[in-house]
A and B are shown apart, each in its own frame.
Chain A
């Protein structure tokens, strides 16, 4: 492990993390410390599951941001207006989460995409990262249950 990363891992428990010290390994360690199993893949994405919802995250290079996201393939037979209504209901009523539809491309089906970004400029605490992730997962679970997705997802 690189020296910079090792320093970051030792000090993440209570300290303020600067953007330059964030890495998939550091994020994974933060979740492990919070008793959440997380894994980083070869592309540098971290994924974890909370209450059955798979959450992915990516440290963005272009801006000091961490992107949290989850997605579900949509049933292509569901009218777009129904998908947009679900998105608007979630965006209008739920905390944190932003919901949108990624339209079908080539052989890929449309997706329901839910995301949230954490700003890391100025530093971020591990408490904020874990708290935002839990709130993100809860808001998705509550939003999908509250506004109903029966028949909407491709696997339904």
Chain B
């Protein structure tokens, strides 16, 4: 595949092209069986997918057993109120019996406005940087399993 650079039209913002772009920029990335992109950015694993007009990136963590929901809510709320860009939530999807809470961190951008390769890479880097910063600054790391 030709090197991807410049403005990428929405129709070319595909999982395959994103993997190629990430690999060209020294990031490990592959497409899994579900069509999601599994990427490693500076040592941090994130998952990306394309849904309709959106390019979505996220990470998910399990909270240590015994941590109360209100404790998790408080930390998630602090990130959403103070950290740049990163959105955190406690997913409602049912968990297996006995499992604790999870924290979902994500950022989404529209692909149908066309994107530059630089912008796409910067969005991913910003997401990872600020997500890791939020983990440290808001003590989330302490409650993870």
Q: A residues 113-155 with Cβ under 8 Å of B?
A: 113, 117-125, 127-132, 135
In the complex, which range does the number of interface residues on chain A fall in?
35 or more
Q: How far is the CA of A65 from the CA of B129 in the complex (A)?
A: 15
B123 within 8 A of A: yes
B35 within 8 A of A: no
**Contact across chains for A128 and B110 when beta carbons are under 8 A apart:** yes
Q: B residues 103-124 with Cβ under 8 Å of A?
A: 104, 108-110, 112-123
**Contact across chains for A131 and B112 when beta carbons are under 8 A apart:** yes
B77 within 8 A of A: yes
In the complex, which range does the number of interface residues on chain B fall in?
20 to 34
**Contact across chains for B90 and A16 when beta carbons are under 8 A apart:** no
- On chain B, the residues within 8 Å of A123 by CB distance are 7, 116, 118-119
- On chain A, the residues within 8 Å of B76 by CB distance are 88
Q: A79-106 interface mask toward B, CB cutoff 8 Å, 1 = contact, 0 = none?
A: 0010010011101110110111110000
**Contact across chains for A92 and B112 when beta carbons are under 8 A apart:** no
**Contact across chains for B112 and A127 when beta carbons are under 8 A apart:** yes
Can you list 27 A-B pairs with a CB-CB distance of less than 8 A? A16-B116, A89-B92, A91-B80, A92-B90, A92-B92, A95-B54, A95-B108, A96-B54, A98-B80, A98-B87, A99-B80, A100-B80, A100-B81, A101-B81, A119-B123, A121-B118, A121-B119, A122-B119, A122-B121, A122-B122, A127-B113, A128-B109, A128-B113, A128-B115, A129-B113, A131-B112, A131-B113
Task: Enumerate chain B interface residues (CB-CB to A < 8 A).
Answer: 7, 53-54, 70, 73, 76-77, 80-81, 84-85, 87-92, 104, 108-110, 112-123, 126
